[in-house]
């Protein structure tokens, strides 16, 4: 496993740690944003982080990885390659995640749910729900960055490469909004 300093160094080297005023997929605001898509722009950045996460789940018995589109598609694929298992992803349809494109899970199939960044864990919880509804057995949630500080509870183990204590606020409590700074939405989820 990479150390926290090594993982943060990779994130910074990839240009994935942004500073500003951001609207997160969770609806919260933050002065810092982890743009994990920048990691997958160059394989040398993604390779080390994904290998570290795959190592954390090597003994999980996962037979499939599943992640929410768009943020976790490349991550889920790379982890499935490293864990030598199948890979699927969920997409939003009418505001909720669903498995499409013919993706299915078998009864009892062991699934590793992956997400690029966990703040509140909402997207990962939706994918976990889909897995459980299909009768599959989630073995854990893996992410590159855990912004929850390990507080997100999924009912299965949460493992991350980097635990980042980055500030975030409800919009009504956001000091950046109070200062009138414009807010940007760099992720893929609708605001």
CATH of the domain at 120: 3.40.50.2020
| Residue 30 located in a structural domain | no
How far is residue 183's CA from residue 24's CA, in Å, rounded to a whole number? Answer: 10
| Residue 10 located in a structural domain | no
pLDDT in tens, 143-160: 999 988 888 999 999 999
When divided into structural domains, the chain yields a total of 1
Rg from Cα positions in the chain? 16
Task: Report residue 189's pLDDT band, with 50, 70 and 90 as the boundaries.
Answer: low
For the chain, the average pLDDT equals 93
| Residue 56 located in a structural domain | yes
Task: Report residue 191's pLDDT band, with 50, 70 and 90 as the boundaries.
Answer: very low
Residue 89 burial (CB count, 10 A) = 24
pLDDT in tens, 111-132: 999 999 998 899 999 999 999 9
Global confidence as pTM: 0.88
Q: Residue with structure tokens 């919009």? A: 171
| Residue 73 located in a structural domain | yes
Between 188 and 53, name the one with better pLDDT. 53
Using DSSP, state whether 54 is helix, strand or coil. Answer: helix
Residue 64's closest CA among 18, 106, 22? 106
pLDDT in tens, 7-31: 999 999 999 999 999 998 888 899 9
Residue 54 burial (CB count, 10 A) = 21
Residue 181: C-alpha distances to residues 30, 32, 36, 184 (Å): 12, 14, 24, 10
| Residue 41 located in a structural domain | no
Mean pLDDT score, 150-171: 92
SS (H, E, C) 107-145: CCCEEEEEEEEECCCHHHHHHHHHHHHCCCEEEEEEEEE
Domain containing residue 140:
50-166
| Residue 39 located in a structural domain | no
| Residue 55 located in a structural domain | yes
């Amino acid at each position: 496993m990479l150390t926290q300093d090594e993982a943060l160094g990779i994130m910074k080297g990839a240009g994935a740690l942004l500073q500003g005023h951001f609207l997160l997929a969770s609806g919260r605001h933050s002065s810092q944003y982890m743009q994990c898509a920048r990691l997958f722009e160059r394989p040398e950045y993604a390779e080390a982080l994904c290998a570290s996460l795959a190592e954390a789940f090597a003994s999980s018995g996962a037979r499939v990885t599943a992640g929410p589109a768009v943020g976790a598609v490349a991550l889920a694929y790379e982890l499935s390659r490293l864990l030598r298992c199948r890979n699927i992803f969920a997409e939003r349809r009418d505001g909720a995640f669903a498995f499409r494109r013919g993706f299915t899970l078998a009864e009892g199939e062991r699934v590793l749910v992956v997400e690029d960044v966990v703040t509140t864990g909402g997207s990962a919880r939706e994918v976990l729900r889909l897995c459980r509804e299909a009768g599959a057995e989630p073995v854990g949630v893996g992410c590159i960055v855990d912004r929850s500080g390990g507080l997100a509870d999924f009912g299965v183990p949460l493992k991350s490469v980097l635990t980042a204590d980055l500030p975030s606020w409800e919009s009504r409590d956001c000091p950046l909004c109070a200062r009138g700074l414009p807010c940007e939405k760099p992720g893929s989820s609708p605001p």
